[in-house]
A and B are shown apart, each in its own frame.
Chain A
Amino acid sequence: MDAYVQDKPAEELKPPVASVGLIGWIRANLFNGWFNSLLTIVTLYFLWIVVPPFIRWAFIDSVWNTTGAVCRNADGACWSIITTNFRFILFGFFPYDQQWRPLVAMLLLFGLLFYSRNRNHWTKGLGYSWIAGLVGMGFLMKGGLFGLPSVESTQWGGLPLTLLLSVFGLTAAYPLGVILALGRQSRMPAIRLLCVIYIELIRGVPLISLLFMGSIIFPLFLPEGITINKILRAQAAIILFTAAYIAEVVRGGLQAMQRGQYEAAESIGLNYFLTMRLIILPQALKIVIPPTVQQLISAFKDTSLVVIIALFDLLKTSQTVLSNPEWMGFSREAYIFVAILYFLGCFSMANYSRKLEKELSTEN
């Protein structure tokens, strides 16, 4: 109970050795208590029996640039299936000497994507560049003008086809999804009903059924004589499918908008369209950028389903190589390669989405 006044400031000491540095880290994170220690030991043992044999199979014993026959005699992974058939897996049946065109188209797409990563670049100019870029990509693939020989869409395949289906799919689905979301929020019962029916119907069925509908039933909808090619049918199905999911994502953003924004717009005298265009949508769409990127990732993965309706995307070209007797039986290597490509794409998009989410949440 006595009064106390400090006479000299206490010195800053170093923490006990066992609680910092490498030893401290190991103690806290790996061997914190008996249960954790047991867990660490079991996990390390498990890694020990799985990882070295895999490395041996995939790298040490693997064969890299030989024929199929040599592969069969080898113990390890046969990566020759990839190296020898590289161009077919990537580009499908696109004419061999014209394959620089899908390559350039893909590089164009990657370039645009890379540039768009930085949000400071998101200007109207970028929007126009994207439209020009997409048109350019379509043109590069199709040809027919400026001396480029025309390549029928039946010959498009591989990675460009996958990218095409995803990017065009999402681009077309986005405005449609926004309209559906606005329709679902509408005060007019008929419009709201139509939008709800569409959204719930599409979200309730698997994509495969829509792809079937696209490839088998769409031709029946058209009058005699008019046909649409297979890719367009699949693309339409993907657009219809993705639009419903985008609609739900945007609806989340619209619902997160504070009432005050609507009221402020009303009190300035803006009508419905101006309110949406100038006030509500810019904010709502910004809020839901992360889930929208998630949708892009899903659309990218979902394009793999076109294999079932026999479109030659990345997955189907790999399977075609595997059906060649020379390369039969090396599915593991082929699928691992395709998996790596998909993983790279999805992982970079997921990472970007996480980074965006952090940026956006600190801004708001």
Chain B
Amino acid sequence: MNEETPKSTDMQAIEEPMIEIIDMHKWFGEFHVLRGIDLTIHKKERIVICGPSGSGKSTLIRCINRLEEHQRGKIIVDGIELTNNLKNIEKIRAEVGMVFQHFNLFPHLTIVDNLALGPIWVRKVPRKEAEEAAMHYLEKVHIAEQAHKFPGQLSGGQQQRVAIARSLCMSPRVMLFDEPTSALDPEMIKEVLDVMIELAQEGMTMIVVTHEMGFAKSVAHRVLFMDFGQIVESNTPEEFFENPQHDRTKLFLSQILH
């Protein structure tokens, strides 16, 4: 990782809360997957969530943009509460961008069309403007030359960068990343992480579920450890990795940092 990457000292998170989760519970049938989550994420803050599989970390961020529904508690995104109110859900989804583990690009559309789809049909932007914005973001993720290809013709790393650009086209206030590099071959992980670091440098609020600890150390304001549906420990990266407090945190770190 680039040692000169700006850290929390350079890009201070603003004290205003962006996302508030208050005593949130979720069940899958009888299984209590999220147990009493209390979490506040401030503007421009970058959080990394780690934990063993099954701990509920993906479910947690999927609840934020209503891909999963929570049964108890409150989730408030940028002042709008997340309920069954369809209008609120739509507003929140326009503010929250998501990058998936398996990219989920639309295979029947070109790269440019993939990016322009949201602005054209949701924000009602004219096609020319949408395509210019698309090219701008494609250049940002260093993939502009592939603009007129189809997703099937790109490598995994390229597809994921396009997926990031696609979310950025909607000008979100928060970006959620659900294990963005887990499905990539090792040599392609760096190109995606570099893009995410650039994004961080520009002040984007980010919640990243990942196992890439190097990324956490260099860019995150906070690292959260989740296990069995609860947040077990939360601290700055230095404290988290040097001085884990909870036993389960220590166990988890010993398993992944061998």
Contacts and interface: CB of A to CB of B under 8 A. Distances in A.
Q: Do chains A and B touch in the complex (CB under 8 A)?
A: yes
Interface of A: 1, 3-6, 9-16, 19-20
Contacts of A11: 35
Contacts, number: 50
Nearest to B29: A20
A363 B108 CA distance: 31
Contacts of B127: none
Given A1-B45, A15-B27, 5 more contacts: A1-B222, A5-B234, A6-B246, A9-B228, A11-B35
Contacts of B236: 3
Nearest to B245: A5
Interface size class, chain B: 20 to 34
Interface string B241-252: 000011000000
Contacts of A1: 13, 42, 45, 221-222
B229 A3 contact: no
Nearest to A4: B234
Contacts of A13: 25, 32, 35
Contacts of A12: 32, 35
B140 interface: no
Contacts of A10: 35-36, 229-230
Contacts of B27: 15-16, 19-20
Given A16-B72, A19-B27, A9 B222 contact: no
Nearest to A2: B234
Interface of B: 13, 25, 27, 29-30, 32, 35-36, 42, 45, 71-72, 221-222, 228-236, 239, 245-246
B231 A4 contact: yes
Contact of A3 (B32, B42, B228, B239): B239
Contacts of B246: 5-6
A24 to B, nearest CB: 9
B249 to A, nearest CB: 8
B71 A9 contact: no
B28 to A, nearest CB: 9
A112 B29 CA distance: 44
B186 to A, nearest CB: 25
A13 B27 CA distance: 9
Q: Indicate the member of A1, A9, A12, A14 with the most B CB atoms within 10 Å.
A: A1
Given A12-B32, A13-B32, A15-B32, A6 B230 contact: yes
16 contacts: A1-B45, A3-B236, A3-B239, A4-B231, A5-B232, A5-B235, A5-B245, A6-B246, A10-B35, A11-B35, A12-B35, A15-B29, A15-B30, A16-B27, A19-B27, A20-B29
